A and B are shown apart, each in its own frame.
Chain A
Amino acid sequence: MGDRLLKVENLCIDYKVKDGYLSAVNNVNFEIRKGEILAIVGESGCGKSTVAHSLLQLLAGGNAKVTGKAMFNDQNLLELKRQDIEKIRGHEIGMIFQNPLDSLNPVYTTGWQVAEGIQLDNVPKEEAWNRVVQLYKDVKMPDSESRAKSFPHELSGGMRQRVMIAMMLARRPELLIADEPTTALDVTIEAQILRIIKALRDDFDTAVMMITHNFGLVAEVADFVVVMYAGHVVETGTVFDIFDEPMHPYTSLLMKALPRIKKSEGRLQTIDGSVPRITGDFVGCRFANRCPYATEQCRTQEPPLVQVSDTHSYSCFREGGDK
């Protein structure tokens, strides 16, 4: 196991709304070590993307209140000045998003855009171009030389995502944040992209923070998993902890909701109800309204963190979790 690269402590993000504060992320703690793939999973609106964006100070508008710490190489990312965070973006922490077309400029060739980043390090133009072609080869782009001269609209979704990865790779970041990197792609292309991300970790010891709602991806590549629900971390553990012995009722219900069976073998578990709106004065466990085991205590008090092993913890009142 490598050295610790990023440690997030008590991260809280509140959005200002008409009637006070909406708590998007509350008290989130996790860490990533070198060469590790951490997956943050949860359903839509659970705050997983908000966490990722806050780390690079990418939250839009001035109405997000971010507190807590995100220590990356002895710097608190959340408190860095604008010039300093700009140096980290792309250089030490790279990021790829769900829809690569939104991240590419339509009027420049993709190769030019990748080279632009390399030239920031005072690399001469020609050398930068050669590096681009090499990078395209690294991400297994078919006929890399001519593709570097293509415009974004001439490429397929999978190729565009490869361009994004090449762009990110160009500066060899220590940490890659991938926000739903394969959601817009076909499964066959998804498998190819995942292979590239895995190779990146193996070859350069890059740490990867993967934001996803797809448990298939998690099972495929993640080492550690953080499960979020309504802005809370409900459970953390290794991928085997989470899939084999889920402790929190939410995780355990989700595992039974995954379509892993045939209809002749039974029916999938469903979780009734919906995510509550979490405003400033919300108390108790956020899953209480949908939890089959909820008691009075769950509705009035914040659940404690229970440590199962060195790597595995969950936050619930129920002793033994969902066992």
Chain B
Amino acid sequence: MKDNERNETFVHNPENIIELDHLKKYFVVNKAGIKRQKQYVKAVDDVTLNIKAGEIVGLVGESGSGKTTLARVILNLTKPTDSHVVFNGINLSHANKKQMKEFRTEVAVVFQDPASNLNPRETVQSSIMRPLLIHGMKKEEARERARHSLELVKMDERYLYSYPHQLSGGQLQRIAIARALVLDPKVMILDEPTSALDISVQAQVLNLLLELQEKMNLTYLVITHDLNVIRYISDKIAVMYLGRLVEYGPTDDVIENPKHPYTKGLMSASPILNPHDRDKEKYIMGGEPGSLINLPTGCHFNPRCPYAGERCRCETPENVYLSDSHQVTCFMYDGTGVGEKIDDKETISAE
């Protein structure tokens, strides 16, 4: 079986806290009609990604690119279709109950809309205490931990007795972070942590996240569509397009010198925050992100790619490692130089 082969070749690197090796997550949708053909939504397709402990990784991509599904697979909220999530050397698909329970304390998540993931009928204190009680802590101790956790996110103790509707968006998001921190996790997955917030509050939350990361040596996976936020906080950037990871590398490299044509388009579409840059020549990517159901053959990006050649329409590009930490999925870099678009390759390096 293909799956087993992969397990044999896969080697765990102790530096990595999360390892994904050709991870796939497909959802089945039934096509209407007599034949009842099965169709797949390939939400996560062949993603190979390693996250080192203590890193902040930003995951970007347009809506429907599979970012959130990838996060859900890592959180083990849904099982992968093929391959496994390896967390701290433990393969989650084969983990026993005890290991799973430990995993649950080590990975925490913060969602986009803080108002909708706090129970409106519970006080802040009982929301924060709940995970502790579930993991069998005594009430008194849990209360103490909840207080400490609120301190970490720089909120006054008196908020312990508030209800979510009494708090502002920024406060709610800090409480969501406090709740995530209460079990002392190693990894936090943040799904659009600031996109519902105003700029001044966004700055507060981002600074808080950075401070906590330094203090507690956390690992973050931050999902967002705001490239300016990602540039500020992350060490590495992963770019997804229609279920595939197209580029993954250090923030500076990906922002200043993006390799994949999609990353280039995304970077130049991102709003500038300086009016003096507005007249700079800008490449605006045409087309729409497309759907995960009717995927194009070959490279998923080929219909929108200005460099697409014949080969891009038939074959699927593999991961190419430009350096230890920079990977890209594009034929332009695999060294074979196949395809009639060699001219374009030159214009890119000349840029």
| A192 part of interface (Cβ distance < 8 Å) | yes
Question: What is the bound-complex CA distance between A262 and B232, given in angstroms?
Answer: 4
Q: Are B225 and A186 in contact (CB under 8 A)?
A: yes
User: Which range contains the number of A residues in contact with the other chain?
Assistant: 35 or more
Number of interchain pairs (Cβ within 8 Å): 117
Taking a contact as CB atoms under 8 Å apart, the answer to whether A213 and B199 are in contact is yes
**Complex A-B: 8 CB contacts under 8 Å:** A44-B198, A156-B289, A159-B288, A186-B289, A188-B266, A215-B199, A217-B271, A253-B200
Distance between Cα atoms of A190 and B272 in the complex (Å): 12
User: Please, how many angstroms separate the alpha-carbon atoms of A261 and B229 in the complex?
Assistant: 9
Q: What 1/0 flags go to A222-263 for Cβ under 8 Å of B? A: 100000000000000001100100000000011001111111
- Contacting residue for A259 out of B229, B251, B265, CB 8 A: B229
Stretch from A25-33, A269-277, A311-319 at the B interface: A269-277
Asked if A260 and B203 sit within 8 Å, CB to CB, the answer is no
- Contact size range, B: 35 or more
B231 sits at the interface (CB 8 A): yes
B residues sitting closer than 8 Å to A (CB atoms) are 62-63, 168, 198-200, 202-204, 206-207, 210, 225-229, 231-233, 251-252, 265-266, 268-278, 282, 284-289
Residue of B nearest to A41 (CB): B199
Choice from B63, B199, B266, B284 contacting A43 with Cβ under 8 Å: B199
Interface presence of A5 (CB below 8 A): no
Are B269 and A43 in contact, with the CB atoms below 8 A?
Answer: no
Chain B residues, Cβ within 8 Å of A258: 199, 228, 273
Q: Verify B288–A191 contact, CB threshold 8 A.
A: no
By a beta-carbon cutoff of 8 Å, the part of chain A in contact with chain B is 43-44, 142, 156, 158-159, 186-192, 195, 213-222, 239-240, 243, 253-254, 257-263, 267-272, 274
Considering the chains assembled together, what is the distance between the CA atoms of A105 and B316 in angstroms? 41
The answer on a CB contact under 8 Å between A43 and B198 is: yes
Residues on B with beta carbons closer than 8 Å to the beta carbon of A43: 198-200
Task: Verify B199–A187 contact, CB threshold 8 A.
Answer: no
Cα-based distance from A127 to B146 in the complex (angstroms): 68
- A210-B225 Cα distance, complex, nearest whole Å: 22
The chain A residue with its CB closest to the CB of B255 is: A262
* Given A216-B273, A217-B271; A191-B284 close (CB under 8 Å): yes
CA distance A186 to B273 in the complex (A): 17
B-chain residues with CB within 8 Å of residue A261 when the two chains form the complex: 232
Cα A274 to Cα B171 with chains together (Å): 10
Let me know if B225 and A187 touch, CB within 8 A: yes
Whole-angstrom distance between the Cβ of A256 and the nearest chain B Cβ: 8
Contacts of B231 in A (CB 8 A): 259, 262
